[in-house]
Structures are given as C-alpha cells and as structure tokens.
Structure 1
Amino acid sequence: MMRVYNSKRNREMNTPHKKAGSTFTRAWEIISQDASIPPEEKKSILRLIQVLIESRERSSSKNGDDAMSITQEVISKHSLMATVKHQANELDALKRISLNLTSSLDFQTVLDAVVTEAMGLVKDANSAHIFLYERGILDFGASLHADGTRNKAFAIPRENGLTYLVVKSGKQIMVEDMSSHPIYKDAPKNWQGSIISIPLKFKDEIVGVMNVSRSVTGHFSRSEIRLISLLADQAAVAIFNASLYKRVTQMANTDSVTGLPNRRALDERLQEEFVYASRMGLEFAVVMMDLDGFKIVNDTFGHNVGDELLYSLFNFLAQKMRGSDFLARYGGDELTLVMRNTGIDAAQAVTDKVINLMNEYKFHYPEEKNIQLGITAGIAVYPSHAQTPSDLLRAADVALYHAKKYHRGKYAVAKGMTGSLSPIKLRKTEHEE
C-alpha cells in the first residue's frame, strides 16, 4: 500500500492513500485536524486507524457520515482504553503509596515518604510540606523540594494563613495563583504559582496538613486532586501509627520516676556509640555514678520523698550536661553518663564537675533542713578499658565499686582491660587537690 508523506504532520505518521478507503481517510483527516485531542493521544489514534486501513483493502462506503461515525467510535474506544490505562496507573500509584507508607514505623521515615509520594503525584510540583497538628499548634514535620532538598527550615505557619485555615475548616483548599490571592497578600514576592492544602485526618481528628505547591498557576487536574486526597487519607493513618509507636517506644525507654532514659535506652545508646566509635576510630567514655546518703533519705522520709528527690536531682544534673552527653538512670540511685568522642582526661574533667555540682544542689523537705547528698563515680573509656559495650559498662561499674569501698565522694578510673579485676586508680576531686 502506498503512502504519501506529509511533512506538516508528525514524521512518524504517514497519510493513508485515498484508495485505501475514503471513509478511513476522512476519519484520519478529521482526527488530524482536531486540536482538542492531546498530541500523544492523537498519535495513538492515528496509529490505530492505520491498523484498520491495513486490515481491509478498500472501504465499501464513501459517505461522510460514515466517516464521522467511525471517527467517533475510534475516539470513544480509544478514550475508554486511555481511561482504563489511567485508572491502572492510579491503582499502581496507590499500591506503591501503601507499601511505602507501611514499610516503616519510624516517625521521620514515614513523614519523608509522604512528601516524596506527594511530589511524584503532581506535575510540575515545586515542593511538598507536612505540618503536624497537636494541641492547637502546627509544627513542621517534613518537606521535599524539586531540587531534592529535604527538611529545609521553613517559617511557622501564620495563624491567618492557608495551613491554619485548612485546620479550621477541615477541608482541602486550592489556590490557583498565589500572587493574586488575598490569603497571600503579605507573603514574600517570590511565592508564585499554585498550591493545594489538604487536612490529614484520622477518625475525624486532624493530625496534620499537607501542602503541595507548583511553580505554575492554574488548577490541579482531577486525577491529581483524587490521588493527593487518597495519599492524605493513607498518610494520616501512617502518621498516627508512627506517632503511637514513637510514644510507646519513648515510654518503654523512659524511667517512670525521673523521666530520664532507662536501662533499656542506655543499652541501645551504648551499642550506637560503640558502632560509631569503632567506625570512626574514636573514643567514648562511660561514667557510673552512685548517690551517697540516699538510703538514709528513703529510710527517714519514705520512698515517695525519695522519688521526688531523685526526680529533682537527676534532672538538675541532666540540665548541666552537654548536648551530646547521654544521662540515664541505671537503677535505684545509680546514674550512667555516656560521652561521645571523649577520652580519659575529658571524662575526668566532666566527672569532677558533676561531683562538685552536688555542693550546689539542695533538696528542701518541709519541717526539715535541706538534704545534702554526694556522688561517687567510676570511669571507663573505649577502647582503653574494654572492647565491647557490656564490658565497658562493667569496667565502669568495677571502678565505681572500688571508689565506694575506699573513699566515697571521689571517682576511680579503670585501668587496663577488665577481664579479671584490674588495678583501679583512685582519683581525688579537684577541690581536694
């Protein structure tokens, strides 16, 4: 079959020869000239007509109405196929979203997954943000920008701004042109384009708001709105579950009396520090501390007062620590301090500081004088005193035992590997030297 090449049309397409069937030729011409059909869809329809032409040598009808009828039928069937294909793509997207949002219970991982999915659902997306809503306040949760930047610092939402408006209304809001919308009249001039803001609801309770912005103005497509809305529904459930897991984990890792990390959290932190120090070739120190005189408080005033004192004192000390230090309640009246990238000299200086801080601390009990306590400590440093987290903790505990046995209110430093009990060097505090 001969085809005449038409340079005005897509070079991948050839106009069918009129002898191939005027009805199909007419259908070809009608579709080719229809500007309402998207280019890719038009290209696909024309290929379909080519297949029809090649399946028959000549059309028996030359009626223009027949051509129009065939054209409409082809377009209708093709549109149906396109719709089915589009729905299949949406189902694939929903399946991917579901898998990604349920693959982890880590709170930040879930938030990052949500904004990643949001960016992939909207054409020309510029950024996606999540703000978490709790007790009437919106706080930043996560963000992703078109250039790949994650969790970039972002201004807290204005109380009269879009995000809070979505919280108050409980409904999604779409702004087609931020530069001309009243709600953005006080916004920076570089805030251009369009944005959709959707509440994240779990059982009718708003847990956050998701904003997706574009660099272009105009409305979002029905498909985009539908998918973003479905993402918001799944995101709300995932965020609630991750938040619940985070709270439960925090409770499991928190001492109920003092609010400090407990023994379980300590073991996890020791393992983390061990892995980090081993990989980076660094030291880290562990200091075991025991209160002097606490038993008398419990025996004299009772355990309730003892608990109040522990809460007050341990939090007093925690506030004096460096941001990188980790202070946990080991059990009873014992504390454990873990210090990253810290050698023996630095560990001794910090321990001196803690012991001397006890002179500043006073616990006032009604009808009694201020209660004054002291601290005795034992220091061990990786890798000088042990090669595993558990051995390092034991080395510090052995050093503490020796310090308590020979002189309370001081600290001792472990010497050598702890295997069998190694010699312990007793140290005086600064104010005694």
Structure 2
Amino acid sequence: MITQKLTIAGIPAIIWGEQAAKIFIAVHGNMSSKSDQVIEIFAEKMIPLGYQVLSFDLPEHGERKNDPRPCKVQEGVNDLTSIIEYVKTGWEHISLFACSMGAYFSLLAYKEADLKQCLFLSPVVDMERIINNMMTWFEVSKEQLQSEKEVVTPIGQRLYWDYYCYVKEHPIDLWNKPTSILYGSNDDLCEIDTVLNFTRQFNCDLTVMEQGEHYFHTKTQLDFFSNWIEKQTCQGMNKMMKIRNEAVADYQQVEAITRKSFWNLYVPGCIEHYLVHVMRSHKDFLPELDLVIEIDHQIIGNIMYTKTKLIDETGAEKDILTFGPVCILPEYQKKGYGKKLMEYSFKQAVALGYEVIVIFGNPNNYVSRGFKSCKKYNVTLENGTYPAAMMVKELKPEVLDGRKWVYYQSPVFEIDEQAAIRFDAGLESREKKYQPSQEEFFINSQAIIP
C-alpha cells in the first residue's frame, strides 16, 4: 500500500493511497497514532474504492509523543482545523473517519464542515460526562480542579480545569451529516445511553458489536470492524445513482416506498402514501418537480412539490413552493441520498423560476439544507403564529425583503382520513404501533415560537 509521509502545519501526517479525487480524514483516539491498526485496515478498505486517507498524530501521540503541548481539546480542535484547511486545497469530496476522543474533537472542529460521510468507531460524544465520572471515581472536586488547574489521577490520566471549562462552554449542538457509528456493548468509557441519545438527536446509524470493547484490538473485533466498513462503504459508494422525474409506471412503487418510510414514524401507521396517491391529480401538483432517486436502477426515494403562496399586508401574492412527502428507504438513509435529492430539486426549482420554499418538518433534518425558522423571514400562518416546524428557504437571497407574509398551504394537504384508511386497507397488512419518534413529532408540531 502506497503511503506518503508529510508535515502539515507542524503536524506529522500520512497520506495513504495513490492520488484520488476523494479523501477521508482519519482521526485516531487516545493512546493511539496516525498509523494505528484500525486506520491501516480502514485505508486498505477505502483505497480500492477510489479514496485516499489522511491520518495524523494528535499532541502527545505518535511522533509527537514528546510534544510539550498537552493533548487538550483546544489543541485538538486547532490541529483538526489545520488538517481540513490543507485537505480543502487538494480535494473537494471530503469524508471523515474518527475514533474515540478523535470523534469528539471532530464534532467540535467540523460541525460546520461539508463532509460527505462520517464513520465513527467507539466515539466519545459526551466528554463532560466522562470528565465528571473520572472526578467522581478519583474523588476530585470541581473546587480542587479549579484551584490546582491540573490533577493527575491514579491511572495516569490528567484532568485540566481549562479543558473542563472548554467542554462545558462548547456543547455538541450541531451535527447534520450522514453518520454511522460502531459501538462495543462492553465499552467501559462511553455509556450506551449517551451514544443512543446522540444517534437519536442527530439521526445517525448505529451498529452495536456484542462483547465489543471501547478499544477494538482483538482479531474478532477487528474482523467485525472490517466487515462494518465494507457495509458502510461498498454498499453505498460504488453504486450508480440517478435522479429523474417520476413516470406513471413508478406510481405504485413510489407509494410503497413512501408507506415503508413513514410507517409508525409520526403516528401509528401513516397516511403519506395516500397523500402521494391523490396529490398527482391535484391542480397544485408540479410534475416537473416530481422526482425519484435510483441506485443501480432501483428507486430508493422520492420528493414531490406543490404550488402554494404567500400574501403580504397589502394583499400582494407571491407564488412559492412546498415539498412533501420526501423520503428515502430506511436501509438507504443516513448515506447522503436525501441531501442529493433535495439539492437537485432546488436547482430544478430555480430553473423553473421559483424563489422561495416553505415546508413543515423537523428542523434537524432541514437546517443543514439552508432552511431557517419562518420567524426569521416574518412568515406566519393565517392566525399570526410562527410554528417551530415551519421553515423557509430563499432560493433567491433577500427576495422576501423583511415584509410580513402569511403562508397559505395548498388544499391538497387536507387529507380525508377515512379515505386514507380505506386506501390503506387494500394494501399489505402492517402492524401499527407506538414508537418514540411519534412523541417527538407531536412536540415539534405543537410548538409555537413566541
């Protein structure tokens, strides 16, 4: 395997593989290095797929073992920033692989970065909790740490007051990127509930290896890791993708995909597939923006647009768009396909002369695509309220110019629930049940911004 050693802003690094258009930044964990075994395995898997991998040593690790700078979060964030700035000069398609502490540094340093895919192994996602745990285990009080600034624990791990303050002042509150996580059930550093909370908050894919540890090092663990990498990459990156308009022959399949994607998500069962069924014949439906996404000639998702309008205080109307349903089959989610479908549709909408899109949805799914709170654009419902779930995207900057606008939704969304029930009764039976996402939907849909 071809490797090239180099130094980036004083940081020893390795680029694995021949020149390629795509690259993964690899960030190692504590007591590891840029040439760690998992990074080597990762590079071996990625190079045949047309990627290079860039790994580097964090302070006090690898070639920097005697670095006078301690491996604090502040130093780590600075180093990761230097690395990605270098990578941007030679690659446009950038992804991330990070382990343990390296994942935590990445969550802080790269929260605004355009990363195509993120793969985390045993990630630290709640550093404050880990520090608090260590302080409890070794009977170190906050007052002691604040007074002494640095405390060496019996296991040799150092606790720093400035590190602790930085962690508390910089919570992980943004991570809108396709992310998959591999976690060991016997991880003794990161509790499973913290990982589950993170995956729910940021819509990540999670794989748990039974009997896996925080540090994947045994043959069984490394084999599992290797297979996991193959599933996350080979199944998603080497396939032919195509976005096109929906055809009549696609109708039944698209409705089935919509049903599968939304089933039990917002309520027990769903009605979105019936909405798709009736939407196509409505006067507000836009067949030009009725799109499907294919992988290897197989439809995996769709997006549908309808015309709607805004009216300002003078009564002037503005024709705009809304979309929905938009969905990706569950097995293809969190791999960037939804992003690609939406971005493509935005370009098509601009080409058709539209300037604004208003939608209702979970902000976590759409703010990374340029949507903002309706209140920031002074767009209300007829009753004058600003729903938290209502978001606006300007396809033409500043086109709404600060005026107060009232949003009028297309009547196509006024679903006859009894008709939807009858329609669903003619399809394959599926179990209706409760799941936590329904409560999240209820909260989001009822929330009003004051």
TM-score (norm 2): 0.23
Structure number with the bigger relative contact order (C-alpha 8 A, sep ≥ 6) is 2
Kindly indicate which of the two structures has a greater share of residues assigned to helix. Answer: 1
Kindly indicate which of the two structures has a greater share of residues assigned to strand. Answer: 2
Radius of gyration: which is bigger? Answer: 1
